Structure 1
């Protein structure tokens, strides 16, 4: 039998999706599964985006430009200008989701066996993108005790080697919900300039911050033009996960020119999704005001309910719509599977994402889960009550 590649065998399974078969079996048994495991918002997609596709007049569904339509990229640049991020359409490559943008970044700035430093826990697919590119992830631990704040710069410096090419952050963070401050971004800016590294920021949750906090982008930092690369997406901002449209943004011309070669290899991003995404940029601010208010209420209720559970520790998210929860258990993978296979309360159970998959350091996160608060408040309350009952039985 022909053999599978070593790279393929090393590709990590998604900690978010690997439990899906157990959830499907639970549903077949008649169990109602409350999904806390995946960041699929239940917020309605802006009608203006849906109407743009519904009312199109295209007669030939042709390729778009490799870098995305010029009109769309100009509107993206105008969107960034409103966020005090000064870029042009030529600094932007439209991609098939933020995932493709990250893949392009890996291919553009790194060779096989190069290293990228990432504060952990981090978005699980970073491991997958790195493995696919032959790149080594060098994790640096952030902890629930200080809400997953930026690790000390001195600890970053200890990890920098001749193979180090970049530092990658998610801001606000998935899975932690941590929002890096302007001071923390400036600390990283000084570090990457000192060691001549790239600073890559996954900023797909930029819109979602709480208690009046402001997001500070790496592209707002002066003097970082040759070092900074943004990865962005419409998926969460406009509740358009299925559109699969994102972008890579950098003022470094060589980065953009090189990434374009990877973009040319996949021809072009999807046309209809670009039409919807371009229209979505005209979404009124009132939409975001309502969405942020809703997520803030969900966050507050979720945290309040979790804090009532004995032995549970929860980080307080400042952005995005996730939180990391530490449970009085030893193995969250086993617990998450048990919830789906063997436990219910009045025919209901919950599906969570075991947090070990969000770490690169073996052994970390094994007593933690990630919860996505993308459900109605009543469902979140019910889910935490079920979780509390489950912990008592599991530990009993």
Structure 2
């Protein structure tokens, strides 16, 4: 080949190289223009996770891009996601496909979530483009929490509704729609249409809620069928924001089951008290059979009119049922014998005699005897003994022997 031909060949190669350089410069210019408009992290990364080149973008200044060169992804990616990122890069290179991944990075004291896509550039490098999705994730989480909260409110057993500042309802959960009996027609009604009370009183409650932030109290809910539900009501003021006007959230709990349960509890308590009183009456006035036809009735405590009536009824029933001919009424344990107590003893004795039984009164101590004398109580016709033992001995003496003894004492 002549020198002239060699020069022409060299000129052609130079021209081709120049065209290639121009093409690459055009591509570089386009890439830089694209990066300048893309709010993302754009870099060339090898299969080991080393950043070979980072491009300047609206969120990556030139100094940060230069500092990122030759840095491992582990320097910014959260530790538990480093291997995942490298796996995505290697998978993209091996399969010559586009890979994607969401991953967190540390940006100062904050954690930022990124969504990345990578495409092979060469046999060992990929173009990595990652954009900040932190706000989108937070929005998604907030929407999920809102859906959970809405599901919770809708399935809550208490009635929940939202009303405007003038009291008009624009939301009611399933429980509140059922409580009112209006169903879906509950929305659109006013609080004053649903709760009994003076219109000005309800307006004042709503205004107090906005003034102080909340209100709690009892209100009666008027059902569509005319029934009234007693409710414990809590109101919370919701400040207007993002174009939404102020509102009030109302939570109403139907107190009917609680009131019914309280009435049942009180009724049961009354039954228990009556049963206890009956048991105490049984225990406080026992009939103690001593022998055939002989019974002892020990009295303890205060002998008032009710207690005396009870003792008399029980003794008379025992005399009739068991054919007692002698009853020993022991007042050793009776405190503070007064006129009422003395009268009660006389009435018991007279009632026993009417049924053919003799009453023996025992346990009269000096103080009791003095009280009976001072009160002028006539105990004639009633056999008295100072102690229960002597009374029992008297009652167990054969009746014929007692009569002879009495005649002997009389003569």
TM-score band by shorter chain is under 0.3
**Greater fraction helix:** 2
Greater RCO between the two (CA within 8 Å, min separation 6)?
1
